[in-house]
Homo-oligomer: A and B are copies of this chain.
Amino acid sequence: MTRVAPDQVRTVTCIGAGVIGGGWAAYFLARGYDVVAWDPAPDAEGRLRHVVDAAWPALTELGLADGASRDRLTYEPDLATALAGADFVQESAPEDLDLKIRLLADIDAVTPEGVVISSSTSGYGMSEMQGSCSHPERTVVGHPFNPPYLIPLVEVVGGEATDADVVAWTAAFYRVAGKSVIEMDREVPGFIANRLQEALWREALHMVANGEATVEQIDQSIVDGPGLRWALQGPMLTFHLAGGQGGMAHMLDHFGPSLLSPWTRLEAPELTTELRNEVVDGCARESGDRTIDDLVAERDRGVVAILRMQGDR
């Protein structure tokens, strides 16, 4: 068993080196890891180094770990050689289920015993992908957001055959590596953020298809509208503040009926007392000892900063 402690990982192998895999490589390099990358495409190394070079100024601005260097990136065309020294494997192959199943089995066959294999899949559950692995217990989903070198979120969730220890180890490793981790206790298609993003995206496509909005209007409506709030407080706290001093309780009691309006093509859940209370209580927990006025002031400082930044572009 060669699985080291989450804070003892030295070498990360990135399987697949496109936008996502290359972005992961850049991130792990910036955090001071040795990175080995494998990708079967003919021009893979050039594209990989392009992604890493493009990411480096932003990573430098945020602060590199001691010893972090792009010189610690190795492109390795042989899969077994790429995986021989891995302490952790991040798989970011194209989103094709058959390909993922075969590739994960190939990775599993040559990766040192016990080393965790984490997939960047944006939608498949690990239960669907791990079936051909000899050691499916060490395969897990670690779903990032583009660009993985800047967006902190990683959603971690195991499949049916994944060890609970592996899920916990993976979440701990990503946290050591500086990520914002959501550890899910069950497989939900699309995980959390992708489901939310996808609901918005599908509605946007419907609007474009129906001539109700242009592509530019879709983007303007978010960038100059709710997008300014979502970078700061998320959809729940955002609506908590839409309720004035009454917070989410007032908001749900006031706007709850609009859930029945044909505002989207997605039907809303019934706003039961239980659901209402769960949302209200969640906002109270998130707020902690911050009053509505505190949250308003916090949001406003953030929006002002983002508006100034938008103005600088």
Contacts and interface: CB of A to CB of B under 8 A. Distances in A.
Given A298-B313, A300-B58, A301-B58, A219 B233 contact: yes
In order of increasing CB-CB distance, the 4 nearest A-B pairs are A215-B282, A219-B234, A190-B263, A266-B266
Interface stretch (A6-14, A27-35, A149-157): A149-157
B19 A242 contact: yes
B54 A297 contact: yes
A200 interface: yes
Interface in A206-222: 206-209, 212-222
A120 to B, nearest CB: 12
Given A19-B242, A151-B228, A199-B199, A216 B54 contact: no
Contact of A146 (B123, B241, B297): B241
Given A123-B258, A188-B213, A219-B234, 12 more contacts: A146-B238, A151-B228, A182-B217, A196-B204, A197-B200, A201-B239, A219-B236, A232-B310, A266-B266, A302-B309, A302-B313, A305-B306
Given A259-B202, A279-B208, A218 B244 contact: no
A72 to B, nearest CB: 21
A237 B221 contact: no
Interface stretch (A110-118, A164-172, A267-275): A267-275
Contacts of A266: 199, 202-203, 264-266
Contact of A206 (B203, B227, B269): B269
A231 interface: yes
A208 B195 CA distance: 13
> Interface size bucket, A side?
35 or more
25 contacts: A19-B244, A57-B297, A62-B304, A95-B254, A146-B238, A150-B304, A151-B224, A152-B225, A153-B225, A192-B213, A195-B207, A196-B222, A199-B199, A199-B203, A204-B236, A205-B259, A206-B269, A214-B282, A216-B285, A227-B227, A230-B231, A231-B306, A265-B267, A302-B313, A305-B309
A214 B188 CA distance: 13
A197 to B, nearest CB: 5
B263 A195 contact: yes
Contacts of A199: 199-200, 202-203, 264-266
Interface string A30-52: 00000000000000000100000
